[in-house]
Amino acid sequence: MAATSPSIRAQAYARLRYSDTGHVSRPWRSFHLLVVGLGLLAIAISSLDGLPPWLSGILSIAVMATAAIFAAEYGVRLWSAPESPRYAGLSDRMARLSWATSSSGVICLLAALPLFAIVFGSIHADNENAPLFCILWVLGLTRHAPAMGTLARVISNERATLTSVLVIFVMVLIVSATAMHIVERVGQPKLFGTLPDALWWAVVTLTTTGYGDAVPMTTGGKMIASVVMVSGILVLALMTGILATGFAEEERRREYLRVWDQVTKVPMFAELGTVTLSEIVGKLRVRNYPPRIVVVRRDEPGESMFFISEGEVEVRLPRGAIALGPGTFFGEMALLDRLPRSATVVTTAPTTLLVLYASDFYEIASNIPALVEAVEREARRRHTENQGGAKATAG
Ligand code: CMP
């Protein structure tokens, strides 16, 4: 028994990891999302007035079940925390403590808290405090969004530029609020009589929200408001631009590393020098496919070819199927001959492909003639093989 426990624990840890792509982890993630969705829906419906008692009962059970599932998840994650490579070398107790105090542990605990509130407190699904559960459960969704990590990195990378824009924002805010206070305080003492009141107006206007609760009446006030409104649009546009560029840049870097990882598994590329390799890496895209997915369909137009870095595909030809494994490629015939696809190609295992679009293929053709020649040679061989097969079938 003692010998089997660690492996069960390791398996539990691996299955619950959000980055795991195994056949248990994916359904678990979908189930997790479904549970959050149902829990939120139950609380939203519970907040309606005049529900029949039977429906309230069902909703209470749904909320309780949601909370119980998150509490169980917390328990399993806490128990399996020592399996995390991050806590290698720590005792089980210290590893669990480290996980429990990490952001991931705290978010997980918050999602489980409603169970204690229900069991030990008096909060039910239709209680006025129950909507609090929504916040706790929605926080857990951050684990489903890897882009949150990207956002944090983008903000960190662009902090100098973002700070400059924020400083401009604060300057415009204070100058406009002070000016409005001076110009409008006599006419509208309730709305602009104090600096905090004027600041509230400036925030609402500068962010282009415009509640309309405080409106300038004097000509001077209207002129100031016009400048503030235009400045607001400019500042928001600047912020959006900085974040969008940062996101695109970060995504490009991540994709580059992902492609580089996969490219080294394809012998054709591994033989190229570093400079040539880095050129082609910028043109390839990584695509992951589960088994039984049609990647290209016979007779459809083709604008890209695919290199297999992991997994296996099946080329379905009239005379039978041919399996292609890691290091090989397909989709080159339509690309070179500008003809429709000659066969349907389907994945037979979880497969990672590197996609090269036609425009990029011709762009690298001049710099890496050896690669293009190898692709052309194989395309000719396949063409001859298919024609031979077709004649044999006809004969
Ligand atoms: P394309 O015609 O673009 O799309 C189908 C692909 O199947 C084709 O390119 C080739 O890459 C691949 N293919 C066709 N015939 C063969 C073959 N005889 N052996 C291996 N692959 C093939």
Q: How confident is the model at residue 2 (pLDDT cuts 50, 70, 90)?
A: very low
Q: Is 308 in the pocket of ligand 1 (CB under 6 A)?
A: no
How far is it, in rounded angstroms, from Cα 237 to Cα 127? Answer: 42
Pick the CATH number of 269-394 from 3.40.190.290, 3.65.10.10, 3.10.20.600, 2.60.120.10: 2.60.120.10
Ligand 1 probe mutation, 308, 330, 335, most atoms within 8 A of CB: 330
Q: Please tell me the residue having the least CA distance from ligand 1 atom 9.
A: 331
Residue range(s) of every CATH 1.20.120 domain in the chain: 5-145
Give pLDDT, residue 125: 59
Q: Is 313 in the pocket of ligand 1 (CB under 6 A)?
A: no
How far is it, in rounded angstroms, from Cα 82 to Cα 96? Answer: 6
Q: How confident is the model at residue 310 (pLDDT cuts 50, 70, 90)?
A: very high
Q: Assess contact for 263 and 280: CB atoms under 8 A.
A: yes
Ligand 1 probe mutation, 297, 298, 329, 382, most atoms within 8 A of CB: 382
Q: Is 385 in the pocket of ligand 1 (CB under 6 A)?
A: yes
Q: What is the mean pLDDT of residues 134-159?
A: 84
Atom of ligand 1 nearest to the CA of 385: 18
Q: What is the mean pLDDT of residues 109-135?
A: 77
CATH code for the structural domain at 5-145: 1.20.120
Q: What is the mean pLDDT of residues 168-179?
A: 95
Q: With 0-12 CB in 10 A as exposed, 13-18 as middle and 19+ as buried, what is 308?
A: buried
Helix (H) or strand (E) holding 62: helix 53-80
Is 390's pLDDT higher than 60? no
Q: Assess contact for 44 and 138: CB atoms under 8 A.
A: no
Is 347's pLDDT higher than 90? yes
Q: Is 346 in the pocket of ligand 1 (CB under 6 A)?
A: no
Q: Is 77 in the pocket of ligand 1 (CB under 6 A)?
A: no
Give pLDDT, residue 1: 39
Q: Is 36 in the pocket of ligand 1 (CB under 6 A)?
A: no
Least confident of 18-32, 134-148, 165-179, 334-348: 18-32
Residue range(s) of every CATH 1.10.287.70 domain in the chain: 159-252
Q: Is 216 in the pocket of ligand 1 (CB under 6 A)?
A: no
Q: Is 347 in the pocket of ligand 1 (CB under 6 A)?
A: no
Q: Please tell me the residue having the least CA distance from ligand 1 atom 8.
A: 331
pTM for this entry:
0.67
Average pLDDT, the chain: 88
Please tell me the distance between residue 326's alpha carbon and the centre of ligand 1 in angstroms: 15
Contacts 24+ apart (CB under 8 A), 104-111: 104/143, 105/77, 105/78, 105/81, 107/139, 107/140, 107/142, 107/143, 108/70, 108/73, 108/74, 108/77, 108/140, 109/74, 110/136, 110/139, 110/140, 111/70, 111/73, 111/74, 111/136, 111/137, 111/139, 111/140
**At the top level of CATH, which class does the domain 159-252 belong to?**
mainly alpha
Give pLDDT, residue 24: 67
Give pLDDT, residue 395: 47
Rg, Å, the chain Cα set: 30
Q: What is the mean pLDDT of residues 55-84?
A: 91
Is 136's pLDDT higher than 60? yes
Please tell me the distance between residue 379's alpha carbon and the centre of ligand 1 in angstroms: 8
How far is it, in rounded angstroms, from Cα 208 to Cα 237? Answer: 11
Least confident of 95-99, 268-272, 342-346: 268-272
